[in-house]
């Protein structure tokens, strides 16, 4: 499933170059990822009840076009690949003209919260990849 959120670039997100600081794009993607989990009916408390946590282990991001203060950005998130204990969510950030601003593949691993070791992706999460 593909989900999206829309945000307005705030003054505190701008760097000395006058555009969005590169680290802010990761934050935007994190907000969109949280929204994706909620829309999948997998909020944090559901993971906690399963004794499962998710850990980001790799982010591959490409910056395509600058974004500036006041612009509206839409961040899209979708599931693209699942392994035994890992999975990948793809993010796209597009401006009001639908131009690609940034894109990233974010790899996460599911872990046992008590043992702090990787575990198989729970079936509730695996369904989002079928």
User: Mind listing the pLDDT tens digit for each residue in 59-107?
Assistant: 999 999 999 999 999 999 999 999 999 999 999 999 999 999 999 999 9
User: Mind listing the pLDDT tens digit for each residue in 107-130?
Assistant: 999 999 999 999 999 999 999 998
Catalytic hit among 15, 35, 105, 112: 15
Is the pLDDT score of 29 beyond 90? yes
Architecture per CATH, 2-129? Roll (3.10)
Is there a catalytic annotation at residue 45?
Answer: no
- pLDDT at site 130: 82
Name the token pair of 22.
């590169």
What is d(CA 107, CA 79) in angstroms, rounded to the nearest whole number? 10
Confidence of residue 6 (pLDDT cuts 50, 70, 90): very high
């Amino acid at each position: 499933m593909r989900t999206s959120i829309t945000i307005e670039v705030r003054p505190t997100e701008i760097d000395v170059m006058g555009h969005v600081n590169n680290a802010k794009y990761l934050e935007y993607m994190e907000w969109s990822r949280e929204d994706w989990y909620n829309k999948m009916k997998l909020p944090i408390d559901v993971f906690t009840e399963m004794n499962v946590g998710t850990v980001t282990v790799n982010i591959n991001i490409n910056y395509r076009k600058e974004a500036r203060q006041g612009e509206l950005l839409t961040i899209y998130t979708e599931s693209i690949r699942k392994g035994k204990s890992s999975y990948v969510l793809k993010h796209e950030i597009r401006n009001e003209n639908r131009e690609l601003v940034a894109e990233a593949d974010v790899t996460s691993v599911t872990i046992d919260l008590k043992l702090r070791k990787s575990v198989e992706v729970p079936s509730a999460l695996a369904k989002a990849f079928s």
